[in-house]
Amino acid sequence: MELKLRILLGFLIAGALLGGLLWSSFFLEPSIPPEWRVCNSDSDCVETRAGCCPCSMGGDQTAINKKYLEKWMEKLEKFCLLAPCPAEYKCEEGIVVCKDNRCEFLSAGPHGKPAVFLFTDKKNYRKGEEIKVTVISGIGIPIYYRDWSANQNECKGTSFRLGRKGERYTWNFSKIGRAECSNPVVKLEPYGEVTYSLDPNESEKLEEGTYQWEFTFGLEKDLKTTLKVFSKNPKVLKEVITPVNVSERDNIFVVHFFTWHPGSGEVVEWNFEIARNCEFKTNYSAIAFQVGDWKGYIYS
């Protein structure tokens, strides 16, 4: 009897080990063959997922030659039918490029959070005012753009354009420079910051109104592929946020504090009212919907 029990346990253990091996083999993620990444230009490449799971469920982003995209998706459909994907959102902003004849995805930061900010000190311009524009990079790789033009006598080949608000939320953008030339490509280091000023004589020529800046940049020096951001008018959060405070009124304790969500960037102001009988109610309101994680700004 004891011998039969040992044999049975042996079979169970062997079966478990074999099942584990088969399970691991089944979920061995497929990878993109190197020849499917070969390219000659950026236009050959498209973004795709790197394995069974999309970036919205714990997977990574990558790039592939677009003529093999359908084959890659068929391969994923065949091998990833029961693949477990974690409930983790990992999507990032970025661009696809052909680098050294290989399609690559270059990340520019978490999706839904601006990777590069363009700040201006005001939105409503008046003649003769000093006008400043600040570029802040929040990503760990350099960005490239054509240098600033401060007046009409300088090159029109710049990465900055100024737009005046028109009818029905339209913006009429134009470049400050008018000369038939292009400014040199400059680099902003990872997490760098730079501020430019418009020539005071140039601001004298502006019509009064509401303005917005446009900034075009790339993650590669050749600027073959670019991204755009538009200026925001910031308010420093330190002028708004206060420490946690507990007060009492009419036998009710009031706890007042602020929270910040690291994913969405939302800042919420809270008031917890707690009565002596332990009943409580909550009042809250969002005071900002997108706040950078390295600078305390409210956008408007």
Number of domain units in the chain: 3
**pLDDT single digits (tens) 97-145:** 888 899 998 776 655 455 688 888 778 887 778 889 999 887 777 899 9
Coarse DSSP helix, strand, coil percentages of the chain, rounded to the nearest 5 percent: 20, 40, 40
pLDDT of residue 294: 40
Judgement on whether residues 158 and 216 belong to the same structural domain of the protein: yes
Residue 20 lies in a domain: no
Neighbour count for residue 52 (Cβ, 10 Å):
21
| Residue at token pair 């400059």 | 186
Judgement on whether residues 209 and 247 belong to the same structural domain of the protein: no
Domain boundary among 180, 204, 233: 233
**pLDDT single digits (tens) 135-178:** 988 777 789 999 999 988 999 999 999 998 887 667 889 888 88
Residue 16 lies in a domain: no
- The alpha-helical segments, DSSP class H, found in the chain are 2-26, 69-79, 200-203
Residue 98 lies in a domain: yes
Judgement on whether residues 182 and 211 belong to the same structural domain of the protein: yes
Rounded CA-CA distance 95/190 in Å is: 17
- To the nearest 10°, report the CA torsion of 218, 222, 224, 229: 20
Model pTM score? 0.55
Judgement on whether residues 121 and 229 belong to the same structural domain of the protein: yes
pLDDT of residue 23: 40
pLDDT of residue 214: 93
Residue 24 lies in a domain: no
Do 140 and 191 contact (CB within 8 A), yes or no? yes
User: The domain containing residue 78 runs over which residues?
Assistant: 31-109
Name the stretches of the chain with pLDDT < 70.
1-27, 108-115, 168-169, 233-239, 261-266, 284-300
pLDDT of residue 269: 80
Do 136 and 231 contact (CB within 8 A), yes or no? no
Structure tokens at 86: 């974690």
Largest CA distance in the chain: 102
Judgement on whether residues 196 and 280 belong to the same structural domain of the protein: no
Judgement on whether residues 146 and 173 belong to the same structural domain of the protein: yes
Do 146 and 159 contact (CB within 8 A), yes or no? yes
Rounded CA-CA distance 55/92 in Å is: 8
CATH number at residue 174: 2.60.40
Do 215 and 140 contact (CB within 8 A), yes or no? no
Residue 170 lies in a domain: yes
- List, in sequence order, every residue forming a beta bridge with 258; answer none if it has no partner: 269
Neighbour count for residue 67 (Cβ, 10 Å):
11
Residue 197 lies in a domain: yes
Judgement on whether residues 228 and 123 belong to the same structural domain of the protein: yes
